[in-house]
Every structure is written in C-alpha cells, then in structure tokens.
C-alpha cells in the first residue's frame, strides 16, 4: 500500500465507520475509530449543545490526539492505518457550536497541539444528501443521537462541503454514497478498493450512476 494512513471522513450518518472497518480488514491495516461513547460530555451536549459544547469539543480533541500518537513517523514496513476521523476536521464542529470567545480559546489550544497529529496520505470523503443522513441516523437508533435535529445535520453537511471544496493537504477521493452500499454489496466495495489502490494524488471522484 502506497497510502500508509487512510482516513474516511464525512458527516454523521454517512457510513464512515462501517467503511473504515471494511477497508482495514481488506488491506490488513490497523484500525483507529472514534470513541464517542468514552466522552462523558457527549450525552449532555446532545441535550444542551450551547452549555456543553466546549467541554465536549476539548475532550474529543485530546482523545483523538492520543489515539493518533505514534503515527507521525509510521513504520514503512509495518501495517498501514485506517481511521474514521482526521484531527484536522475538529475545528469544523467547534465553529458550529462554540461562541466567539470559546472558539478563540479552542483555536489557540488546537493550533498548539495540531503539529502532533499526522496528515493522512489519503482522505475518502463520503457525501450524502441531508435527507439520507437523517434517515440513516434515525434508523440506527443510537439513544445519544435521538435529539439531533435535521438543521444540525444540515449545518454539519454544509460545513463538510465547504471544507473539502478547498482541501489540498493530501490525496482526496470524494465518494457519492447515495447509490453505494459498501456493507451489503461486495461489488460496490471492490470497486472502491480498486480506486483507493490506484489514486496517486490530487482530487478524484467516485460515483455510481
């Protein structure tokens, strides 16, 4: 694998964790997953976003930084790594939920710790319509996510779209996941793996008509 560190990203409900698991298994890679259940502030955040946004955001920042320790100087002869998050995207959520003073504090902390996190070799960005995201979140029935509003999902989706429109830190594969089912249709997953193994840099798109 020429890509030693692959990240699957996208808004809530896009299927990034499921795809990251499949990719790690197929590529024989180490798997690093977000651990939202370990964040004690997250259930409080979903009940009162304004009150608990800063504590939730800072916990996630340091949790993710800890998870990515050791990847800055990867073993070129060891296994690659697949993750379902990139530390670089943390400010997206912070800007949505923090007031100006809190965001200023968060930004100073983020800029201090950011150099400790590795840059992915390849980012796979999963896109889906907001209606699809809403349906998927409701279908999986996570109690913590029950209070997530459609407007919040729309804001997250729009923020991701703007962020990746200008993204140039690594190779980027933009995947329209509306008509792709990587979990239940092996042919879809096989096609994606072929693209992952062939992409060399820049920005590419993967879609199914």
pLDDT in tens, 114-165: 988 888 999 999 999 999 998 988 888 777 777 788 898 999 999 999 999 9
Question: What is the per-residue pLDDT across 177-201, written as a single tens digit (0 to 9) for each?
Answer: 888 889 899 999 999 999 999 998 8
Q: How many residues does the chain have?
A: 209
Which of 72, 59, 146 has its CA nearest to residue 106?
59
CATH for 18: 3.40.50.300
- In angstroms, the Cα distances linking 125 to 20, 112, 157, 161 are 11, 26, 11, 10
Cα distance between residue 115 and residue 122, in whole Å: 18
Q: Chain-wide mean pLDDT for the chain?
A: 90
Give the largest Cα separation in the chain, rounded. Answer: 49
Cα distance between residue 83 and residue 118, in whole Å: 12
Cα distance between residue 179 and residue 176, in whole Å: 7
At 71, is the pLDDT very low, low, confident or very high (cuts 50, 70, 90)? confident
Share of the chain above pLDDT 70, in %: 96
191 Cβ partners below 8 Å, 6+ apart? 206, 208
Question: What is the per-residue pLDDT across 85-104, written as a single tens digit (0 to 9) for each?
Answer: 999 889 988 999 999 999 99
At 108, is the pLDDT very low, low, confident or very high (cuts 50, 70, 90)? very high
H/E stretch holding 163 reads helix 150-165
DSSP H helices, 7-141, are 16-27, 42-47, 49-67, 90-97, 100-113, 130-140
| Per-residue model confidence (pLDDT) at position 73 | 64
| Per-residue model confidence (pLDDT) at position 171 | 95
Question: Has residue 1 got a pLDDT over 80?
Answer: no
Instruction: Give the chain's domain count.
Output: 1
Domain membership of residue 109 as a residue range = 5-206
Cα distance between residue 200 and residue 160, in whole Å: 23
């Amino acid at each position: 694998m020429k890509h030693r560190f692959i990240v699957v990203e996208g808004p809530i409900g896009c299927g990034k964790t499921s795809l990251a698991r499949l990719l790690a298994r197929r590529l024989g890679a180490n798997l690093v997953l977000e651990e939202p259940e370990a964040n004690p502030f997250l259930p409080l955040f979903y009940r009162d976003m304004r009150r608990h946004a800063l504590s939730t955001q800072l916990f996630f920042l340091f949790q993710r930084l800890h998870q990515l320790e050791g990847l800055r100087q990867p073993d070129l002869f060891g296994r690659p790594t697949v993750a379902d998050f990139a530390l670089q995207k943390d400010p997206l959520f912070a800007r949505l939920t923090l007031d100006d003073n809190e965001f200023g504090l968060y930004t100073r902390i983020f800029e201090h710790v950011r150099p400790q996190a590795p840059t992915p070799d390849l980012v796979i960005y999963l896109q889906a319509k907001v209606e699809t995201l809403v349906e998927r979140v409701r279908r999986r029935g996570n109690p913590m996510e029950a209070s997530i509003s459609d407007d919040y999902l729309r804001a997250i989706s729009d923020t991701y779209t703007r962020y990746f429109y200008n993204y140039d830190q690594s190779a980027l594969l933009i995947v329209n996941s509306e008509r792709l089912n990587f979990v239940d249709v092996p042919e879809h997953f096989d096609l994606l793996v072929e693209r992952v193994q062939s992409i060399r840099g820049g920005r590419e798109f993967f879609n199914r008509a």
